[in-house]
Every structure is written in structure tokens, then in C-alpha cells.
Amino acid sequence: MKLTLWTYEGPPHVGAMRVATGMKGLHYVLHAPQGDTYADLLFTMIERRNHRPPVTYTTFQARDLGGDTANLFKDAARDAYARFQPEAMIVGASCTAELIQDDPGGLTEALGLPIPVIPLDLPSYQRKENFGADETFHQIVRHLAKPMPRTEAISCNILGATALGFRHRDDVAEVTRLLALMGISVNVAAPLNARPSDIARMGQAHFNVLLYPETGEGAARQLERTCGQPWTKIVPIGVGATRDFLHEVAAITGLSAAVDESALRLPWWSASVDSTYLTGKRVFIFGDATHAIAAARIAATEIGFTVVGMGCFNREFARPMRAAAKAHGVEALITDDYLEVEAEIERLQPELILGTQMERHIGKRLGIPCAVISSPVHVQDFPARYSPQMGFEGANVIFDTWIHPLVMGLEEHLLTMFREDFEFHDAAGASHHGAKAVARAEPVEAGVLHHRTPAEYLDKDEAAAVAVAVLGAPVWADAAERELKKIPFFVRGKAKRNTEKYAADRGVTEISVDTLYEAKAHYAR
């Protein structure tokens, strides 16, 4: 047993739902208790789908347990076929039905439906959502895709995009555009928007583009085995990765990798002097392995951040994640426990977090800016506007998204210079952060440095910390306190914590200006 509050991934049958809901003409009959229909709202609300997920639940109740549930399943499958007339069906069990051991595959087979019925075996107590999606897509491909003669012109399949995928909709569009620039057409993109009949003709493509290893690698390997199609190993997120991807495709097809980059703006935006202040900003990266690894490369080599920590929640990809982290000189954090992630962020005190919805909330709690790079995400990360992560437009989107939460360079500079100014003071905050700016109330006499008590200029938390300090923690000397005050407010909390820890560790009871700078030197890395 493991006490859990937040889960990065749902159970595996939710992964199967992501495949079914992404596709058309496919129906999922799921043996599950009545409450499990909650998963529908992930699709209708977070992804704002305008149709119900194509899922029939048996919604068995306690009174059905015993001999009845198998018949319930059969009826549900029969009714679903009659009502929805799908081209193919997937059938399986949720965690509870797994325990009652009806056999959805066998039961449906006995019905003799005139369509392919694909049984899913998803171990709910061992595996999670991504596995469920990968395995479901794999099984669909295994049952429906057959070797075929290749298309005359060079074509490929795009694998791995699902419902409820982070920016999958626009990534598929962007990669399709990129491939078109090379003269390659897309045979089938799946599962997202594909029909079972499309899956059946996947064999005619020359090769496969694997967009999301988490949800498409099983299918890619299957197609390699049965249809002899090679698949791409590089995920085109970031400028460098996109160019490498194009070269990989060129190597597979013999076509030229030189494509029009006139709409690519990240490199110049990043090179322009306004971005200089981004140099060496310390960033922590967490998400699914694919997005986290891609983000680390962009952060380090395209924007000039320092990667101080990275990791992923999906153990299946621990190995590539460890290798990537090593290349950045850090150790990978592989965990699905958000408390561990939070502890690591607290320890590292990065200046920017790139993560999931959970890291956004951690960032908020710790006062650290954050941008979202990976599922799980909430409704705001299924935007109305075009916002891919992949390809050249994806790189543009990423630059804007990551830089936005940071205080802008010039603003940072001005805030430091004029921090004692009566209307441009620290407490006024950064202009775009939503809080109303307030002019400082107390008059400052010309030429006289106005001294305030700690409680006057410290925020509530800090004042509380000062109160605690009275009870034995290191005490700030007046001069040191004034010096602390000169540090820009958005890093002051961190400086204060570091200094106090530094002092406490060394048994220093009164913090002087020297202690402050010794601590600063100690933590400067």
C-alpha cells in the first residue's frame, strides 16, 4: 500500500480511453463499476471535446457481483455494437473488474460480432496510464495492420498522438508541415483522428515517425517487425532536435534535409541582447521523460540556462533519462511522488521550473516561476490557439512560454537600481504579475536614509521567521538587515534562507554583513 494524494498518471484503462477517444470508428467496452465513468470528464472538460468518449461501461453494482457480471458485459458489448456500429472494438477491464476475473476478450468473442474485437490486458495494479495507451495502440496495430506494398511517393505514418496528450493536436500538424517541406506525405497519423480502416493501411508507408515514445513505441516496434518499417528515434522538440530529426528522416528516405527555416525565430530571439540576462539561470526540469529530455537540451544549448536538476515520473524511461541527466552533469530524479519532487526543488532553489501542472503549484508555493512542458496538464494547456511544441513553430512557442514567467531583463535591472524609489519600490512588484502596484506610504526625507523596522519591510512569512529567530535562530544585525534589503526582492527570500542556514550550520548567532556575503559566496555555484 502506498499513500497517495496526487498521481502523475491515471490507471492504465485511462490510457486505453485516450487511444479510443482519439480515434474515430472505434468503440471501447470497459468492464467497470459505475463510478469509473468519471474519466469521461477528463475528455469533455479538460480537453473540451464536443462528444462523449466512445466508451461503454458496464457500470456493475454490488448486487451484480456473483454470476451476473459476465452477462452484463456481454449485453453491454452487444448493445454498444448495435448502437454505435463501430469498425472495430476494444474490450477490457478496469481495476475492479480485473479482480472479478470475467474475461472480456472471451466473452465478446462468444458474441461473434462481425467486426474485429481486440482484447486488452492491462495490469491495473502494476502499470499506469502511459503503459495503457502504448499497449492499447500496440494491440490495435497488431490486430489490424498488415504488410502491404509501399505507396509510390515516399510517405510515412505518424505514431503516438492521443486524446488528452499535451499539444498533440498541433504537434501532428507541425510535423506534417515539416515533412511536407521535405516532400514526404503522411499516410496515416494515429491514433489521434485515425479510424480502424486507416490502421489497416499503415503498412503501405515507407517509414514511421514516432512522436511520443511513451504512447507509440510498442506500435513502432510492431510495425518494424511486421511491415519492415524503420522508425525515427529523435523527437523534434527544439531547434537542434528538429534539425537532427530532419537529418534522420533524410537518412531513411534519401531526401534532402534542407528545409525552409524562415519562420524560425527562437535562435535570433535567444541571441539578441535582451536575452543576455537569461545566461546561466538555474532551471529544474520535470515531466514525462520525452518532454523533459527535450527541454533540457533546449534549456542548455538554445537558451543558455543551467540545468540544475531533471527527472521524470515514468519509470519505463528511467534509462534514457539517466543518460540525459548525466550529460548535463546532474543525477536524474525518477519518481512519481510529488513530495520528492518538491523536496528536490526546495533543495536546489532554481530560478525557473519547467514541469507539469504539479510543478506549477510547487512553484507557486515556493515563489519560483514555472512553465508547463509536459502532461499532466489542466484545461489552460489545451489552448484554442495554435501552440505546438514540435518543429520550428514549436521552438518559437517554447521560447515565449518559458521566458514569460521570468521577470524581464530590463525590468529586473530597473527594479534593482531604483529599489528605494517611492513609487517604483520592491513591493510594487513586477508590472505584469497581476497585483496592483501601491505607492509607498511613508515620506522619505531628502538625503536621509529611511530606516524601517524589520516588521515594516518584511512580508508576513519573513516577519514570522524573524519572530522565530528571537527564539534561538541566528539574529540579523541591523547593518546586515539593511544590506539584505538591498538585494532584489525576488531573490531576497532565498538569500535570507541561505544566509540563515549558513549561519546556523556554523553556530553563528548574529548575522553580520560579512556573514551575508560569506553565505552568498558559499552558495554561488
Give the nearer residue to ligand SF4 in terms of CB position, either 95 or 182: 95
Print burial letters for 324-349: b (CB count within 10 Å at least 16), e (below 16).
bbeebebebbbbbbbeebbebbeebb
Task: Check residue 40 for interaction with other proteins (CB under 8 A).
Answer: yes
Contact yes or no for 32/57 (Cβ under 8 A): yes
**Does 36 belong to an annotated binding site?**
yes
**Does 410 belong to an annotated binding site?**
yes
Task: Check residue 11 for interaction with ligand SF4 (CB under 6 A).
Answer: no
Task: Check residue 36 for interaction with ligand SF4 (CB under 6 A).
Answer: yes
Q: Nearest approach, Cβ of 347 to other proteins (angstroms)?
A: 20
- Of all residues in the shown chain, the one whose CB is closest to ligand SF4 is 35
- In angstroms, the CA 3 to CA 486 distance is 44
Set 68, 121, 274, 478: catalytic member: 274
- In angstroms, the CA 10 to CA 43 distance is 13
Give the 3-state secondary structure of residue 287.
strand
Please give, one letter per residue, the 3-state secondary structure of 188-215: EEEECCCCHHHHHCHHHCCEEEECCHHH
Task: Check residue 419 for interaction with other proteins (CB under 8 A).
Answer: no
Give yes or no: 274 in active site. Answer: yes
**Does 311 belong to an annotated binding site?**
no
- CA neighbor of 394 nearest in space, from 182, 246, 175: 175
Q: Nearest approach, Cβ of 9 to other proteins (angstroms)?
A: 8
Give the nearer residue to ligand SF4 in terms of CB position, either 35 or 183: 35
Task: Check residue 383 for interaction with ligand SF4 (CB under 6 A).
Answer: no
Q: Using CB under 8 A, which residues numbered 77 to 96 contact other proteins?
A: 79, 83, 94-96
Among 11, 218, 287, 355, binds other proteins (CB under 8 A): 11
- In angstroms, the CA 250 to CA 262 distance is 20
Q: Using CB under 6 A, which residues numbered 82 to 101 contact ligand SF4?
A: 95-96
Spatial neighbors of 491 by CB under 8 A, at least 6 apart, are none
Task: Check residue 42 for interaction with other proteins (CB under 8 A).
Answer: yes
Task: Check residue 62 for interaction with other proteins (CB under 8 A).
Answer: yes
Contact yes or no for 350/311 (Cβ under 8 A): no
Q: Which helix (H) or strand (E) holds 129?
A: helix 129-144
Give the nearer residue to ligand SF4 in terms of CB position, either 40 or 518: 40
- CA neighbor of 398 nearest in space, from 179, 170, 165: 170
Interface with other proteins (CB under 8 A): 1-7, 9-11, 13-14, 33-42, 44-45, 48-53, 56-62, 64-65, 76, 79, 83, 94-96, 99-100, 124-126, 128, 358, 361, 365
Residues taking part in catalysis: 274
List binding-site positions for [4Fe-4S] cluster. Answer: 36
